[in-house]
A and B are shown apart, each in its own frame.
Chain A
Amino acid sequence: MSGNILFPPAAALEATRVDHLFYFLIGVSLLVVGGVGVLLIVFAVRYRRGHHVNRKWRRSHRGAIEYTWTIAPFLIFLTFFAWGAKLYVDLHSPERDALTIYGVGKQWMWKFEHPGGQREIDELHVPSGRPVRILLASQDVIHSFFVPAFRTKQDAVPGYLTSTWFTATQRGDFHLFCAEFCGTQHSAMIGRVIVMAPEDYAAWLERERPVESLASRGRALFRELGCSQCHQSGKTDLAPPLEGLFGREAALSDGRRIVADENYLSDSILYPDRQIVAGYEPRMPSFAGQIDATQLFALLAYIEVLGHVSEQP
């Protein structure tokens, strides 16, 4: 692992960008705080009691001085804000072709599932050079997915679906921490992120390939839970059809239009009466507390596949 006593390794595109902003902040702070510190010491020494110096001072231009050091810091702060905000917005706008991996925080482990159905615990294999999006859920309390080498962090909140993404650049093993206090063994909830060359990652996927993909487990669940009784393909009288839904806009009964992304779908499964599709009765039961995060992800993966299936009629 590279990195040193002061800085962690920078193993993703985002890490380098955050570091640059961080250096900028340190530079400006050193200038300002250092300046104040030097003045503080100079004044303290020069104007100490018993030291004979000229102490006559007409306090003119006081207003101007104070307005200057009110407005100047604010302008400097605005540059901090703008730069930080730019990177933050990027962090919330994943590449369209990002590889999605599903992550679940659970007292006290991280479980990951790749779209092909490969599962791992406390380890996360990702390819380098390709945007990877981690979709996060929690099984119990709040956890936080934190990879210092990528400078990325995102809470996994029960009842919510959150996500983060990164493009790893450097191969190797990196720490994966839980950053939000989650109970007795919080500090043991440590895993590794293993960044591999794309071809090694492909080989790894092949080696770990299970019988069933995530989506096909989702399909089985879809029948088992009785979803298919109302959401039948070709029928639209009881429930809105799911074919071709994923990634499209849906019209809601209160007039809003909303993109059917993972968040919307997860909300619709867990809290169906938050958003009702226009033209339908709110009769869907809530699955909050009925299914766990892994099952939710399987369903989402299946609904996503349904979305692609009917895209080529």
Chain B
Amino acid sequence: MSTIAAPSYLQAGHTLRTWYATSDHKRIAWLFLISMTAFFFVGGAAAVVMRMELVTPAGDLVSDETYNRLFTMHGVIMVWFFLVPSIPATLGNFLVPLMIGAKDLAFPRLNLLSWYLYAGGAVFVILTLLFGGVDTGWTFYAPYSTLFSNSNVVLAVTGVFVVGFSSILTGLNMIVTIHRLRAPGMTWFRLPLFVWSIYATSLILVLATPVLAMTLLLIAIERIGGIGIFDPSMGGDPLLFQHLFWFYSHPAVYIMILPGMGVVSEIIPCFARQEIFGYRFMAYALLAIAVIGFLVWGHHMFVSGQSMYAGLVFSLLSFLVAVPSAIKVFNWTTTLYKGCISFTAPMLYAIGFIGLFALGGTTGLFLATLAVDVHVHDTYFVVAHFHYIMVGGMVMAYFGGLHFWWPKMTGRTYSERWAQAAAIITFFGFNLTFFPQFLLGYLGMPRRYHAYPEEFEFLNVLSSAGASLLAVGYLLPLFYLARSMLRGESAPVNPWDATGLEWQTSSPPPVENFTTPPVVTQPPYQYTPVE
């Protein structure tokens, strides 16, 4: 370990300019991390107000108009300004070059441009908020968004359009980096699964996002110019919008889970002191999800009026895409078998992830089952399902990863006990918030309802109570991680005794990542479960 001479990336310049004009992937990761955290709490605040409104059946806290804007902004911000870039642009940005033994990403300045595009998109979203928001739902369904809504649709879709190019550039950068900048000996099947997951995600980012960009462009043009592409009175087809939108947005769901799977695949072997079970299956499963994910968009449209035969095909393909996810759950579980498990905060998040993801995935099967979907489509069942995947899955993994690599990123340790408490509170808060929503959905409560019939009250109150607990779980890290940054003890090079190149360089790493170029001689996850 050569930890002596080279100054860490955090010490290389302290002026503001060394941050906003940096091309160091580690600093850009921080730029993303800070701006995304801000948006996470803005989107979260919208959710809090919504949950407060739903405590009583009557729409008495905010007006219907406000409520519609709240859930739209919650969706837009959480999807495009938090979940999509969350792991790829922060942990991915920070770790991929370290994990493959590279000095930086393939195009460092393009990487900085990604962040500026993100910030540019953010400006539009903030303007949207300042001008009173947008009320179409994050899906921007035509013809509501094009002909009927009186809100700032154009401003909002411009923001999403711009941030989309940020995603595309991040994806492009990752693909080229992983293809070309691997250290000597780092063959494809020696890549950590986290890198595989970022690779699979990047394929989706690069191939699906442009379709979203075009679709939103058409929405904007149609709204401004009344061109009729989605307007039935002019011969346009509103269902075409849904096809184009979900062609992006279903794969985007996998953008919002694959990196989480990658993170968990790093954490579990480390704290089970055991090689991951079925490495190759795990890597192939990531790719399979990315590829098959492009063929299932129509399962969002089983009751939309698309043909029955299309429904049948999309249903079958949706079951097919569930297989690799099932494999992953089995393999993580088996990795624990005969391991030597310690329950650190990252591990608690990871185990929580498996449970919540398994439940979210299984309810996804319910939704792929045609006749059941007809009943629960557009109800709280769907809301619960995708929150189990995206929040129960991705956000748990994101927090897990943040804790796992925090010592590497900052060079500081945090309070383990507080972190464990936060993980446990989050897990229970999450379940209390979202499990009742499955029941609400089957009972028939439609989503996006500002007021609702009285028989749904009890479950809604439970859900809102859970949300307050969940909020505590999310706010806690803000404090103890800030404290760690200011006063934390300095972290050793490899606090978890983990394998992986990122743990061989100093904490925090030097600007050039490694003082001597690393050479890889063995597969990943060479752990032995001996105490």
Tell me the A residues contacting B by CB distance below 8 Å. 3, 5-8, 17-18, 21-22, 25, 29, 32-33, 36-37, 39-40, 43-44, 47-50, 54-57, 59, 62, 65-66, 69-70, 73-74, 77-78, 80-81, 83-89, 91-92, 107, 140-142, 144, 146, 148-149, 151-155, 157-160, 162, 175, 177-188, 190, 270-271, 286, 288-289
What's the nearest-Cβ distance from chain A to residue B299, in Å?
11
**A47-B368 CB under 8 A given contacts A18-B375, A66-B281, A89-B308:** no
B416 interface contact, C-beta 8 A: no
**A107-B148 CB under 8 A given contacts A43-B336, A48-B342:** yes
**A43-B449 CB under 8 A given contacts A21-B369, A66-B327, A70-B323:** no
Q: Determine if B365 and A25 form an interchain contact, defined as CB atoms under 8 angstroms apart.
A: yes
Contact pick for A288, options B64, B235, B446, CB 8 Å: B235
Residues of B within 8 Å of A151, CB to CB, are 371, 374-375
Complex-state Cα separation, A86 to B374, whole angstroms = 13
B452 interface contact, C-beta 8 A: yes
What's the nearest-Cβ distance from chain B to residue A298, in Å?
19
Q: Determine if A47 and B316 form an interchain contact, defined as CB atoms under 8 angstroms apart.
A: no
**A271-B235 CB under 8 A given contacts A84-B315, A88-B308:** yes
B516 interface contact, C-beta 8 A: no
Q: Main secondary structure on chain A at its contact with chain B?
A: mixed
Q: Determine if B444 and A146 form an interchain contact, defined as CB atoms under 8 angstroms apart.
A: yes
Q: Determine if B371 and A21 form an interchain contact, defined as CB atoms under 8 angstroms apart.
A: yes
Q: Determine if A187 and B338 form an interchain contact, defined as CB atoms under 8 angstroms apart.
A: no
What's the nearest-Cβ distance from chain A to residue B436, in Å?
10
B319 interface contact, C-beta 8 A: yes
What's the nearest-Cβ distance from chain B to residue A32, in Å?
7
**A25-B351 CB under 8 A given contacts A33-B358, A73-B322, A153-B374:** no
Stretch at the interface among B112-120, B137-145, B203-211, B473-481: B137-145
Contacts beyond the supplied A33-B362, A69-B327: 9 A-B pairs with Cβ under 8 Å? A6-B442, A40-B333, A84-B371, A85-B312, A88-B371, A142-B304, A152-B375, A158-B233, A186-B450
**A6-B443 CB under 8 A given contacts A18-B372, A154-B303:** yes
Contact pick for B238, options A29, A55, A153, A158, CB 8 Å: A158
Residues of A within 8 Å of B221, CB to CB, are none
Residues of A within 8 Å of B337, CB to CB, are 43, 47, 57
Contact pick for B359, options A33, A88, A91, CB 8 Å: A33
Complex-state Cα separation, A40 to B375, whole angstroms = 32
Q: Which chain B residue lies CB-closest to A68?
A: B330
Q: Determine if A44 and B448 form an interchain contact, defined as CB atoms under 8 angstroms apart.
A: no
Residues of A within 8 Å of B351, CB to CB, are 40, 44
B370 interface contact, C-beta 8 A: yes
Q: Main secondary structure on chain B at its contact with chain A?
A: helix
Residues of A within 8 Å of B375, CB to CB, are 18, 22, 148, 151-153
Complex-state Cα separation, A181 to B142, whole angstroms = 11
B320 interface contact, C-beta 8 A: yes
Residues of A within 8 Å of B312, CB to CB, are 85, 88-89
B127 interface contact, C-beta 8 A: no
What's the nearest-Cβ distance from chain B to residue A31, in Å?
11
Contact pick for A29, options B135, B365, B442, B452, CB 8 Å: B365
Q: Determine if B451 and A36 form an interchain contact, defined as CB atoms under 8 angstroms apart.
A: no
**A187-B451 CB under 8 A given contacts A47-B272, A70-B323, A289-B233:** yes
What's the nearest-Cβ distance from chain A to residue B414, in Å?
20
Contact pick for A80, options B149, B308, B368, CB 8 Å: B368
User: Count of A-B contacts with CB under 8 A?
Assistant: 260
Residues of A within 8 Å of B149, CB to CB, are 183
Contact pick for A40, options B315, B355, B368, CB 8 Å: B355
Q: Determine if B443 and A7 form an interchain contact, defined as CB atoms under 8 angstroms apart.
A: yes
Residues of B within 8 Å of A54, CB to CB, are 338
Q: Determine if B281 and A180 form an interchain contact, defined as CB atoms under 8 angstroms apart.
A: no
**Interface pairs (29), CB distance under 8 Å:** A7-B442, A22-B375, A22-B442, A25-B369, A36-B330, A40-B351, A55-B339, A62-B278, A66-B281, A66-B331, A73-B323, A74-B319, A81-B319, A86-B371, A87-B370, A88-B315, A88-B371, A141-B143, A142-B238, A142-B304, A149-B444, A157-B238, A157-B239, A157-B304, A158-B232, A177-B446, A181-B141, A182-B144, A186-B68
Residues of B within 8 Å of A158, CB to CB, are 143, 232-233, 238
What's the nearest-Cβ distance from chain B to residue A300, in Å?
17
Residues of B within 8 Å of A78, CB to CB, are 319
Residues of B within 8 Å of A44, CB to CB, are 336, 341, 343, 351
Residues of A within 8 Å of B303, CB to CB, are 144, 153-155
Contact pick for A91, options B144, B238, B374, CB 8 Å: B374
Complex-state Cα separation, A187 to B337, whole angstroms = 49
Per-residue 0/1 for B31-66: is the Cβ within 8 Å of any A Cβ (1 yes, 0 no)?
A: 000000000000000000000000000010000110
Q: Determine if B372 and A186 form an interchain contact, defined as CB atoms under 8 angstroms apart.
A: no
Complex-state Cα separation, A149 to B365, whole angstroms = 22
What's the nearest-Cβ distance from chain A to residue B424, in Å?
14
What's the nearest-Cβ distance from chain B to residue A46, in Å?
9
What's the nearest-Cβ distance from chain B to residue A103, in Å?
14
B237 interface contact, C-beta 8 A: yes
Q: Determine if A140 and B148 form an interchain contact, defined as CB atoms under 8 angstroms apart.
A: yes
**A288-B232 CB under 8 A given contacts A152-B375, A186-B448:** yes
What's the nearest-Cβ distance from chain A to residue B527, in Å?
12
Which residues between 483 and 525 of chain B lie within 8 Å of chain A, taking CB atoms?
none
B379 interface contact, C-beta 8 A: yes
Complex-state Cα separation, A148 to B451, whole angstroms = 17
Residues of B within 8 Å of A149, CB to CB, are 444
Residues of B within 8 Å of A155, CB to CB, are 303-305
Complex-state Cα separation, A158 to B446, whole angstroms = 21
Residues of B within 8 Å of A48, CB to CB, are 340-343
Q: Determine if A188 and B64 form an interchain contact, defined as CB atoms under 8 angstroms apart.
A: yes
Q: Determine if A8 and B379 form an interchain contact, defined as CB atoms under 8 angstroms apart.
A: no
Complex-state Cα separation, A89 to B370, whole angstroms = 9
Residues of A within 8 Å of B135, CB to CB, are 183-184
What's the nearest-Cβ distance from chain B to residue A12, in Å?
11
Complex-state Cα separation, A86 to B372, whole angstroms = 11
What's the nearest-Cβ distance from chain A to residue B287, in Å?
14
**A47-B232 CB under 8 A given contacts A55-B530, A80-B369, A148-B375:** no
